[in-house]
Amino acid sequence: MKIQERTGAGAGRSAAPAQPSVGDRLPSPPRERKPALAALAVLLILLGALGATMLVLRVGDRVEAIQLTVDIKAGESITKDNVKVVMVNDDSGANFVPWSQRESLMKLQAKSRLYKGTVVVGEMFAGKADMEPGKATVGVSLKDGQYPAGLDAGDNVAVYRVGGKSSSGDQDDSSGSTGGDNSLLVERAVVESAPQTGGDSIASTSKAVTLTVDAADASAVAQAASAGEVAVVLIPGK
């Protein structure tokens, strides 16, 4: 009898469901991967590297251009002594004249005054321009004292008529000279040419100057020049 009771009790215990231990846990679900975001991150990194590379290449795209080492007046040309080579960015949009074309540029003239340090662009130079409408050129012969030292092509000057004789009271002015009657003939004229004088003769002290003036003033300047009564004064450029 006792043996049967034990066996029945054991059978009853084995039929009861086993309870999980406290330390056992259910397995967590696998972490969800996002391959699209990873691919986007890699693409952004590649684009950034490509952009940096292109920027370096663009900065390095430089060309040899012409830079002035002295001031150039209107009507003057460059020479091998007043220019130097300089590196500039070719993507600036400016029409820089390449250093290799400097020989051709020497045959042209500056349209206006250019200053030391200027990097030359094509629009600054041209062939000898035709006469502007309403303008005229007049030749005058100036002696020492009738022009400032260093007068040169491209300078702006005021033109005066000066008396051929002194206006002292004891001098007879019956010859018709305009002695003492100094007057402004042209407020602003441009010197087209003013060759440098040379030699030791007295004649070498005269300077043959060509002026561009308003056509309305050309007659008065020519008359004064024929009498040797013209003087020019250097004035600031426009």
Are 119 and 140 contained in the same domain?
no
Indicate if the pLDDT at residue 35 is higher than 90.
no
Instruction: Say whether pLDDT at 99 is over 90.
Output: yes
Q: Are 122 and 214 found together in one domain?
A: no
* Overall average pLDDT of the 189-209 stretch: 69
What pLDDT was estimated at residue 127? 80
Answer yes or no: do 229 and 139 share one domain.
yes
pLDDT digits (tens, 9 = 90+) for 165-176: 544 444 444 333
Backbone angles phi, psi at 163, to 5 degrees: -65, 140
DSSP for residue 169: T
Cβ-contact 61, 88 below 8 angstroms: no
The alpha-helical segments, DSSP class H, found in 121-228 are: 215-226
Residue labelled with tokens 């662009």 = 121
Whether the per-residue pLDDT at 201 is higher than 50: the answer is no
**3-class secondary-structure state, position 16:** coil
For residue 238, give the amino acid letter. K
pLDDT at 40 > cutoff 80: no
Q: Print the domain residue range for 100.
A: 62-126
pTM: 0.46
CA nearest to 208, candidates 153, 130, 134? 153
Q: Distance (Å, rounded) from C-alpha 86 to C-alpha 83?
A: 10
Together in a domain, 111 and 145: no
Structural domain count, the chain? 2
Spatial CB neighbours of 236, under 8 Å, sequence gap ≥ 6 = 156
CATH code for the domain in which residue 100 is found? 3.90.1210.10
Pair 189, 156 in one domain: yes
Of the pLDDT bands very low, low, confident and very high (cuts 50, 70, 90), residue 222 is very high
Mean pLDDT of the chain: 76
Contact 233, 158 (CB under 8 A): yes
